[in-house]
Copies of this chain bind each other. A is one copy, B any other.
């Protein structure tokens, strides 16, 4: 019998699998072949390793599934810190929308996406779920980075970057989706309707029909602010969630982003339809919109992932920070320190995030047969010493800067904090040059 030769082996670290039993191998190894996990388990450091083309010694490291960021607007990375400490509508109408009208073009979308992906990969996020305009340019940029992504063309009933005629918005998004179907195994197209207050019922229905016809994820910001809730209630006599349900766009392929102003009846409806939620604590806190009832979502069995939102509102793409916020904000909001423990927060940022965007059969945990999307966190640092409980450290102590190595589909994209897929200095220079123009307006 000829011994198996693997493409990649990671060994000698603590493997936090995030499998259904949340198994942790204190001295573990993962063997990868053809981009997928072939074996994972305990491996004594004295045992002989199988042969492999690439061997990563995860000594004093925690190996965990790559994080899944369920809500981004990648090109907006160029607007990071442009305007802060403002109400959502002031921020949108007087700062972000004007900057977008003037500066969003295929080139800036490409550069902003590279910048955002560089930040995410270096911070341990291997998959993101995005929505913006010129999304084909986003997809081309994401392809360069080696990252996995669900990428949605935005739909809004106003003239938008690249879609001057709103009457064409759904057709445009459907054509985008068609062109990216099965083009790259790491990229899945999607449609993103901006919100129930910026898209008419007909637009929402047509976009959902297009998504259903292609079998892709339908995304929408919903119930972000009290103002939105009140407006939809006034116009339609229903809460935003009930309104979306009435027009028939809630099902298991729908991702509801934010979901802050939802009530008990809304939660029952979301659970009944099997719709998923992207929770964005950092953005919700900074924009002061409110605290989503995430403990209630979990009690109702609603699949809930975590998202950073765009860098213009957060202002970074560090999913470790969002895990930390997720574990903390609901404790203080409910005055119950037992809600959303470290394991739950870590599951939301990995397997549940994957499930929320329809990828849980393929990613979100380190299990045989799944794509080998994994990261190594360097625990040999003062702020991660001592180490009693790996999940606790990942949620309560670590940040994206602690990520040493990043692997997507078995490909090493970050090694010893060096991003291997991009010329990072060039990306930083290009982003800075564009920002110089943005800052002048």
Contacts and interface: CB of A to CB of B under 8 A. Distances in A.
Interface in A222-270: 226
Contacts of A332: 284-285, 288-291, 329
A331 interface: yes
Nearest to A291: B332
A290 B88 contact: no
Contacts of A383: 119, 122-123, 316-318, 400
Contacts of A362: none
A185 interface: no
A417 to B, nearest CB: 10
**A contact face: mostly helix, strand, loop, or mixed:** helix
A335 B229 CA distance: 15
Interface size class of A (residues with CB under 8 A): 35 or more
Contacts of A435: 385-388
Interface of A: 78, 80-82, 84-88, 91, 115-116, 118-119, 122-123, 226, 282, 284-291, 314-318, 321, 324-325, 327-329, 331-332, 334-339, 341-342, 380, 382-383, 385-389, 392-393, 396-397, 399-402, 424, 427-428, 431-432, 434-435, 438-439
A424 B287 CA distance: 40
Nearest to A122: B382
A382 B84 contact: no
Contact of A385 (B287, B314, B324, B428): B428
27 contacts: A81-B386, A81-B392, A81-B396, A84-B341, A84-B392, A85-B327, A85-B342, A86-B337, A86-B338, A116-B382, A118-B382, A285-B328, A287-B337, A288-B334, A288-B335, A288-B336, A315-B392, A315-B396, A316-B396, A318-B383, A321-B321, A325-B328, A329-B332, A386-B434, A387-B435, A388-B438, A399-B399
